[in-house]
Amino acid sequence: MSADREAVLELQGVQFGYSSRPVLEDIQLSVAPGSFLGLVGPNGSGKSTLMKLLLGLLEADEGTIKLFGTPVQSFRDWNRIGFVSQKAGSFNSGFPATVFEVVSMGLYGKIGLFRFMKKKHKNRVMEALRLVGLEEYSGRQIGMLSGGQQQRVFIARALVSEPELLILDEPTVGVDADSVRNFYELLKELNRNKGITLLLVTHDIGAMSDYVTDVACLNKCLHFHGATGEFISNKDEMMRAMYGHDVSVIEHNHDHGHHDHHHDHDRSEAVK
Amino acid sequence: MIDVFFQYDFLRYSFYTSLMIGILAPLVGVFIVVRRLALLADTLSHITLTGIAFSMMMARYYPAFAAINPVYTGMGFAVAGSLMIEQLRKSYAYYKELAIPVILSAGIGIGVVFISLADGFTTDLFNYLFGSVAAVSRNDFTAVAVLTAVVSLLLLLFYKELFFLSFDEEQAVLSGIPARALHLMFIVITAVVIGISMQIVGILLVSALMTLPVAAAMRIAASFKQLFLFAVLFGELSVIAGMTAAFYADAAPGGMIVVINLLILGAVLSADRFLKRKEKPVWTSS
């Protein structure tokens, strides 16, 4: 991480607890512009809490959180950040809105109150749909699309306001294994070609590590924060530290016949 | 057939008013349905009854009160009731739906007490319950026209915010949309629209005009914008046909309007079964 480029996201000594129960301890995290960070951790590791802190929905007990160099408390430039929530996919699938209408929502904050969608905004919506490869689906009802396609729609909604940082919270939950790979491919492309900094929060260590440039392992405190290559070579040790016992991570061998194993793995993790 | 409404003043203003509620009720109804607030509309209409009963009781003991149109007292009660619902929803954070039956029964219970203390059931009260073809005077109509303009303008102005909030409240709040203020505004709008509509369709059926056209429109609308279009179309169709039928059959218009709406809904549902059979959802992975 070069010192001359300001970190997109920086956490220093962040501490947080619900009542007296500590959830996050002494978190140091820095996301350089143009990187693709995978933040992994088991259920209950504090990932969601960290998300809420980053988005200013919760306030840290100690430490500082900076977004583009500005402390989160005084950060107002939310258009620079796109966010795809874990809950994005749990909308009512009978909702009679088209893909185009859903992606348009991503611009509403930017357009502001008392103003309307203009031609240039409509063009941007189509541009965002083109980026995720769903241009032809713009007139389709959102509920008619598959889980993987819906996930892309929500990415497009986050991209349409042209954010510099895109935060994705468990975006692959409920998406079938084939679509997950395609989805990560898309993220990698956005990161490389569009220069969008990505923060991917997930419990799915397997597939993710083929795509991200950096990894951070979270379980109450950060167990690892560095380049992906380094993470992979120390994976077993990392896993033990994070989960408190040996975990065998099922490697992705790009053989599509083994997806059932992968699901089992996800589930066994989720139980803990 | 419709021309009879233009021969008499008292019919004309009722007819114009019904044309406006044919637009307003479904417009508000779309948001009520997609936000799953249909029971809220019902509750607010029952509190409107309380307000009207209060007004009638006061008019009996204090004649000065008779000068105030009970509809406005009703609207006032509905707005106050909507604020109480919000308060109760906060008090019972884990059983939010409890607020609805509490306010609903409070509305009817207190309303019945007021009715007994007034003159008991009168023709006036019957008209408020089931609607009337001749309820709107010229002055009332002016107020209706102004309120219609204001409500339509507000809905147009905040269309995108209300749409976003209905679809994905969390993300809408994150993007800086003032959810609380808009929700409050929306509830007040609902109370006002109920007050306007009940003069024609009656308190007991006002929520039908907000939900039935939307229910029918939902089966055929391809987009959110189309949902408004079809809902208003069905709403207008039902009030025009319902008012005409009510006049000639000398029946309560509220009932007729609901019957027409049910016919539309039935027609759409059966047409839908034939048309949608060909078009199946696409379940291919991307």
Distance from CA of A189 to the nearest CA of B (A): 16
Residue B218 lies in a domain: no
> Residue B201's domain is classified under what CATH number?
1.10.3470.10
Residue B184 lies in a domain: yes
Residue B194 lies in a domain: yes
Three-state DSSP state, B177: coil
pLDDT at residue B280, as a whole number: 52
Among the partner residues A96, A134, A176, nearest to B218 by beta-carbon distance = A96
Residue B177 lies in a domain: yes
Looking at chain A from residue 137 to 156, which residues have their Cβ under 8 Å from any Cβ of chain B? Answer: 139-141, 143-149, 152
Distance from CA of A226 to the nearest CA of B (A): 30
Asked whether residue B241 carries a pLDDT value surpassing 90, the answer given is yes
The Cα B224–Cα A97 span in angstroms is 5
Q: What residues in chain A have per-residue pLDDT under 50? A: 1-3, 251-272
Asked whether residue B283 carries a pLDDT value surpassing 70, the answer given is no
Residues B249-271: what's their mean pLDDT?
94
User: What residues are paired with A83 via a beta bridge?
Assistant: A167
Q: Which residues of A touch B223 (CB under 8 A)?
A: 96-98, 100-101, 139, 141
The Cα A146–Cα A148 span in angstroms is 5
Distance from CA of A179 to the nearest CA of B (A): 6
Residues written for chain A: 272
Q: What is the ipTM of this complex?
A: 0.86
Residue B65 lies in a domain: yes
Q: Give the dihedral sign, CA A163/A169/A173/A174.
A: negative
Residue B2 lies in a domain: no
Which residues constitute the domain of residue B156?
16-209
Among the partner residues A78, A133, A145, nearest to B176 by beta-carbon distance = A78
Among the partner residues B160, B170, B281, nearest to A87 by beta-carbon distance = B170
Among the partner residues B171, B223, B283, nearest to A85 by beta-carbon distance = B171
User: Of A244-253, B2-11, B18-27, where does mean pLDDT reach its minimum?
Assistant: A244-253
**pLDDT (tens digit per residue) in B24-81:** 999 999 999 999 888 888 999 999 999 999 998 998 888 888 888 888 899 999 999 9
Residues B209-226: what's their mean pLDDT?
95
**Cβ atoms within 10 Å of B61's Cβ, excluding its own:** 9
Residue B118 lies in a domain: yes
Residue B229 lies in a domain: no
**pLDDT (tens digit per residue) in A198-234:** 999 988 777 788 889 998 888 888 877 888 877 777 7
Q: Which residues of B touch A98 (CB under 8 A)?
A: 222-224
Distance from CA of B175 to the nearest CA of A (A): 5
Report the number of distinct structural domains present in chain B: 1
Where does the pLDDT of residue B276 fall: very low under 50, low under 70, confident under 90, or very high at 90 and above? low
Asked whether A101 and A126 are in contact (CB, 8 A), the reply is: no
- Taking each helix axis from N to C terminus, what angle separates B9-34 and B179-201, rounded to the nearest 10 degrees? 140
**Cβ atoms within 10 Å of A245's Cβ, excluding its own:** 8
Share of chain B above pLDDT 90, in %: 55
Three-state DSSP state, A214: strand
Q: pTM score > 0.80 for this model?
A: yes
pLDDT at residue A259, as a whole number: 42
Asked whether residue B139 carries a pLDDT value surpassing 80, the answer given is yes
